Amino acid sequence: MTWLITGGAGYIGAHVARAMAEAGERVVALDDLSSGIQDRLPEGIPLVRGSSLDGELLKRVLAEHAITGVVHLAARKQVGESVAQPTRYYQENVGGLATLLEAVAEAGVRRFVFSSSAAVYGNPDVDLIAEDTPCAPMSPYGETKLTGEWLVRAAGRAHGISTVCLRYFNVAGASAPELADTGIFNIVPMVFDRLTRGEAPRIFGDDYPTPDGTCVRDYIHVSDLAEAHLAAARRLTDGASGDLTVNIGRSEGVSVRELVTLVAEVTGNRTPALVEARRPGDAPRAVASAALAERELGWSARRDVREMVESAWRGWLLHHPGADGA
Which residues are known to be catalytic?
Answer: 141
- Alpha-helical runs (H) found in the chain: 11-22, 55-64, 79-84, 86-89, 96-107, 140-159, 187-196, 222-237, 256-267, 291-297, 305-319
Mean pLDDT in residue range 88-115: 98
Pick the closest to residue 7 from 21, 23, 38 (CA basis): 38
Res 326 pLDDT > 80: no
Percentage of the chain lying above the pLDDT 70 cut: 99
The confidence score (pLDDT) of residue 303 equals: 98
- Per-residue pLDDT tens digits for 21-77: 999 999 999 999 999 999 999 999 999 999 999 999 999 999 999 999 999 999 999
The ranges assigned to domains in the chain are 2-171+219-248, 173-217+251-325
Mention every residue, 6+ apart, whose C-beta is less than 8 A from residue 321.
none
Helices (H) and strands (E) in the chain — how many of each? 11, 13
What pTM, to 2 d.p., does this model score? 0.96
- Distance CA(163)–CA(36), nearest Å, equals 25
The confidence score (pLDDT) of residue 266 equals: 97
The CATH superfamily holding the domain 173-217+251-325 is: UDP-galactose 4-epimerase, domain 1 (3.90.25.10)
At residue 325 the predicted structure's pLDDT band, cuts being 50, 70 and 90, is low
| Overall fold of domain 2-171+219-248 | Rossmann fold (3.40.50)
The confidence score (pLDDT) of residue 322 equals: 78
- Per-residue pLDDT tens digits for 216-236: 999 999 999 999 999 999 999
Percentage of the chain lying above the pLDDT 90 cut: 96
Mention every residue, 6+ apart, whose C-beta is less than 8 A from residue 160.
110
CB neighbours of residue 156 within 10 Å: 24
Res 196 pLDDT > 90: yes
